[in-house]
Amino acid sequence: GAVVSQHPSWVICKSGTSVKIECRSLDFQATTMFWYRQFPKQSLMLMATSNEGSKATYEQGVEKDKFLINHASLTLSTLTVTSAHPEDSSFYICSARDGRGSGEQYFGPGTRLTVT
């Protein structure tokens, strides 16, 4: 089956620093990847839609200058949290849409970010 990986699986950083999270589709090409944020015991909230070779589309209320998304290839998208603050601590999950067939989304295992 289709596999999506995320790296790192968890990260702790100091307030004011930037953190990069990678999302890779391992055995398929993903023209579109999605970035979600999940607070404890809550649902997934879509942050942005990332299309290969073009600018990401951000959901309302998501600061695009704070959450930088790059989708440079058909198998890799990155999310960079810039100047992180404790309120950015969360579980970040990516998904990749298989461009073939029904375009099903496959989810990565998530990255837990803790900002101290």
Residues contributing to the site for other proteins (CB under 8 A) = 4, 6, 34, 41-44, 46, 49, 91, 93, 95, 102-110, 112
Quick one: 12 or 16, whose CB is closer to other proteins?
12
Our measurement of the distance from residue 18's CA atom to the centroid of its chain's CA atoms, rounded to an integer in Å, reads 14
Q: With contact defined as beta carbons under 8 Å apart, do 75 and 29 qualify? A: yes
Q: What is the DSSP letter of 59?
A: P
Nearest distance from C-beta of residue 115 to other proteins, angstroms: 18
- We find the least distance from the C-beta atom of residue 40 to other proteins, in angstroms, to be 10
Tokens 């998208």 belong to residue: 77
Q: How far is the CB of 68 from other proteins (least distance, A)?
A: 20
Report DSSP state, residue 9: S
The residue among 14 and 41 lying less far from other proteins, judged by its C-beta, is 41
Phi/psi of residue 86, nearest 5 degrees = -55, -30
Beta bridge partners of 79: 21, 69
Nearer to other proteins, 84 or 110 (CB): 110
**Phi, psi (rounded to 5 degrees) for 88:** -85, -10
User: Please, what is the minimum distance in Å from the beta carbon of residue 45 to other proteins?
Assistant: 8
**Measured from the CB atom, is 82 or 91 closer to other proteins?**
91
